């Protein structure tokens, strides 16, 4: 195990974009991996109710947003805290290799799973070789 695997990583606050909602927004930690027929994106969104998650695709830009119910944290007097409360926001450019009509999303235990199926023209295919 390397030191990077066990080190604490601070949340990154979104600071370079105009805020449209009150409060802080953070960049959720994201893993993206490729399977033969799709790309899979997983984003950590602890404390976000599935009804407040918005996955949106427009003009080749995939946006994921999740809102935390801040009323659960009102009037608290923490003794010690490492968990910064705020909404989550992240944007990704999606290539033409993705079948945008088949993108799906679900949330499981605070982790957003977005599946981006590859378009048929990008999938590997066997080309038959004929003889003359």
Instruction: Let me know if residue 127 belongs to a domain.
Output: no
Instruction: Output the pLDDT for position 18.
Output: 52
Instruction: Let me know if residue 132 belongs to a domain.
Output: no
Enter the pTM of the model. Answer: 0.73
Chain-centroid distance of CA 121 in Å reads 25
Give the pLDDT mean for 65-81.
Answer: 80
Count how many domains the chain has: 1
Instruction: Let me know if residue 42 belongs to a domain.
Output: yes
Query: Residue holding tokens 């009150």?
Result: 22
Give me the percent of the chain exceeding a pLDDT of 70: 80
Start-end of H helices in 35-114: none
Give me the percent of the chain exceeding a pLDDT of 90: 39
Instruction: Output the pLDDT for position 8.
Output: 52
Structural domain that includes position 27 = 23-122
The per-residue pLDDT for range 102-114, each reduced to its tens digit, is: 999 999 998 999 9
- Supply the CATH number for residue 81's domain: 2.60.40.790
Instruction: Let me know if residue 88 belongs to a domain.
Output: yes
Instruction: Let me know if residue 32 belongs to a domain.
Output: yes
Whether 38 shows a pLDDT value over 90: the answer reads: yes
CB atoms within 10 A of CB 118: 19
Give the pLDDT mean for 60-68.
Answer: 91
Instruction: Let me know if residue 6 belongs to a domain.
Output: no
pLDDT averaged over the chain?
Answer: 82
Instruction: Let me know if residue 2 belongs to a domain.
Output: no
Q: Which of 36, 62, 32 is nearest to 120 (CA)?
A: 36
pLDDT bin (cut points 50, 70, 90) of residue 2 is: very low
Give the pLDDT mean for 51-56.
Answer: 93
């Amino acid at each position: 195990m390397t030191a990077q695997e066990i080190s604490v990583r601070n949340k990154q606050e979104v600071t370079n974009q105009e805020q449209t909602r009150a409060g802080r927004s953070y960049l959720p930690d994201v893993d993206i991996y490729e399977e033969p027929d799709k790309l899979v994106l997983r984003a950590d969104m602890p404390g976000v109710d599935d009804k407040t998650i918005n996955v949106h695709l427009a003009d080749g830009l995939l946006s994921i947003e999740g809102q935390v119910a801040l009323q659960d944290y009102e009037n608290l007097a923490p003794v010690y805290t490492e968990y910064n409360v705020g909404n989550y926001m992240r944007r990704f450019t999606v290539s033409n290799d993705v079948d945008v009509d088949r993108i799906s999303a679900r949330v499981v235990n605070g982790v957003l799973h977005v599946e981006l199926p590859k378009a048929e023209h990008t999938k590997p295919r066997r080309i038959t070789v004929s003889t003359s």
